[in-house]
Amino acid sequence: MTLRDVAEAAGVSEMTVSRVLRSRGDVSAQTRERVFAAARKLGYVPNKIAGALASNRVNLVGVVIPSLSNMVFPDVLAGIGEVLDETPLQPVIGTSKYDDDLEEKVIYEMLSWRPSGLIVAGLEHSDAARAMMANAGIPVVEVMDVDGDPVAACVGISHLEAGRQMAREIAARGYRKIGYCGSSSIKDHRAQKRRQGFEQGLAEAGLSLTDACLYAGTSGFGTGRGMTAEILGRTPDLDFLYYNSDINAAGGLLYCLEKGMDIPGRIGLAGFNSFEVLDGLPMRIATMDSQRHDIGRRAAELIAANALTNEVVTLAPVFLPGDTVR
């Protein structure tokens, strides 16, 4: 089923069919109707492969993220989608599973489709991936994080600063024996930066981390619960726990409540990300809104504007005290 078939059925040239189906140029209402009728009758679906090759235009935007299971990324995608819905552009998602080599392959695959733009999560990539992004000749935006050396445009928050700010909030509230619960994966660059900023912030307040508990695997209530049990078992006099994610913090919260601990008096808790699903826990967890929806929007806006810039857009995360800090 090709344009030619439709053209024959409608008794016009292929070019006229092409014009009608793309609403380009002037075509008489009568011809247009005949073409539409023929296309509909034949169930014609245009071949974008051929169209893209001929026009040298591909209305796709590659989006490379580590994972879809981490609730952070669907929110970024939602922001991207909102903006691209107003344009002819369509996002195409690829996942890197937190693996730089796989990310490189995914980026390569995407670029081989000659998309109109590329959005990649994070600033840490293989040299080859960085080279591809730099030479892609299309708008490329690195998202989520601004602490590093972007190859291209960049939209995100400073996770270092987010950690530092959290430390300041905690210190100002008089917590002194502070523990950290997070991922042991060095691949989780942003969580590592938050922890680093957090420790810096504590140092600036004359404090330091008393204990830390790390896990391998996925975040979850069970994970948060387990880490909390472990760290409090080891260091019972901690008066604050900072978690890499709200999900883990929620597990910790449930654990502490079950143990009858006074929150936020005896112990305070804070997480990161601000997930809407969690509204409805016994207490609202102190957290920081990571602005991921806006990050998606801003990145998509740069792509939609065909901006070949290297500008860095730094958004400010917002501290939400909730109920788990004094």
User: What count of Cα atoms within 13 Å lies in the side-chain half-sphere of residue 35?
Assistant: 21
Neighbours of 182 (CB within 10 A): 23
Cα 289 to Cα 200, 224, 266, 276, 285, distances in angstroms: 20, 19, 25, 10, 12
Residue 30 touches which member of its own copies, DNA, none, C-beta under 5-8 Å by kind = DNA
For residue 74, give the nearest of 246, 220, 293 by alpha carbon: 293
Least distance CB 238 / its own copies (angstroms): 20
Least distance CB 53 / its own copies (angstroms): 5
**How far is 30 from 317, CA to CA, in rounded Å?**
56
Residue 163 touches which member of its own copies, DNA, none, C-beta under 5-8 Å by kind = none
Please select the residue that binds DNA; options are 33, 37, 41, 47, rule is CB under 7 A: 47
Residue 116 touches which member of DNA, its own copies, none, C-beta under 5-8 Å by kind = none
Residue 68 touches which member of DNA, its own copies, none, C-beta under 5-8 Å by kind = its own copies
Cα 238 to Cα 141, 163, 319, distances in angstroms: 41, 19, 22
Residues in the chain: 326
User: What count of Cα atoms within 13 Å lies in the side-chain half-sphere of residue 87?
Assistant: 22
The reply to whether 13 sits near DNA by the rule CB under 7 A is yes
Phi, psi of 159 (to 5 degrees): -75, -30
Least distance CB 54 / DNA (angstroms): 3
Neighbours of 40 (CB within 10 A): 10
What are 82's strand-pairing partners? Answer: none
- Where does this chain bind its own copies (CB under 8 A)? 43, 45-50, 52-53, 58, 68-69, 71, 74-75, 77-78, 81, 90, 92-93, 95, 108-109, 111-114, 131-132, 135, 218-226, 247, 251, 254, 258, 276-282
Stretch that binds DNA, among 24-32, 232-240, 278-286, 294-302 (CB under 7 A): 24-32
Least distance CB 207 / its own copies (angstroms): 29
Query: What is the torsion angle, in degrees rounded to the nearest 10, for the CA atoms of residue 298, residue 299, residue 304 and residue 307?
Result: 100
Please select the residue that binds DNA; options are 25, 174, 217, 222, rule is CB under 7 A: 25
Binding mask 176-205 for DNA (x = CB under 7 A): ------------------------------
Helices (H) and strands (E) in the chain, counts: 12, 12
Stretch that binds DNA, among 12-20, 231-239, 246-254, 298-306 (CB under 7 A): 12-20
Structure tokens at 79: 């922001």
Least distance CB 63 / its own copies (angstroms): 10
Q: Which is nearer to its own copies, 87 or 200 (CB)?
A: 87
Phi, psi of 210 (to 5 degrees): -85, -35
Place of tokens 């005290």: 321
Residue 21 touches which member of its own copies, DNA, none, C-beta under 5-8 Å by kind = DNA
Is the dihedral angle over the CA atoms 53, 54, 57, 60 positive or is it negative? Answer: negative
The reply to whether 234 sits near DNA by the rule CB under 7 A is no
Least distance CB 243 / its own copies (angstroms): 13
Least distance CB 98 / DNA (angstroms): 30
Q: Which is nearer to DNA, 14 or 100 (CB)?
A: 14
Return the DSSP state at 278.
Answer: G
Structure tokens at 203: 């140092």
- List residues binding DNA (CB under 7 A): 2-4, 12-16, 18-19, 21-22, 24-28, 30-32, 46-47, 50-51, 53-57
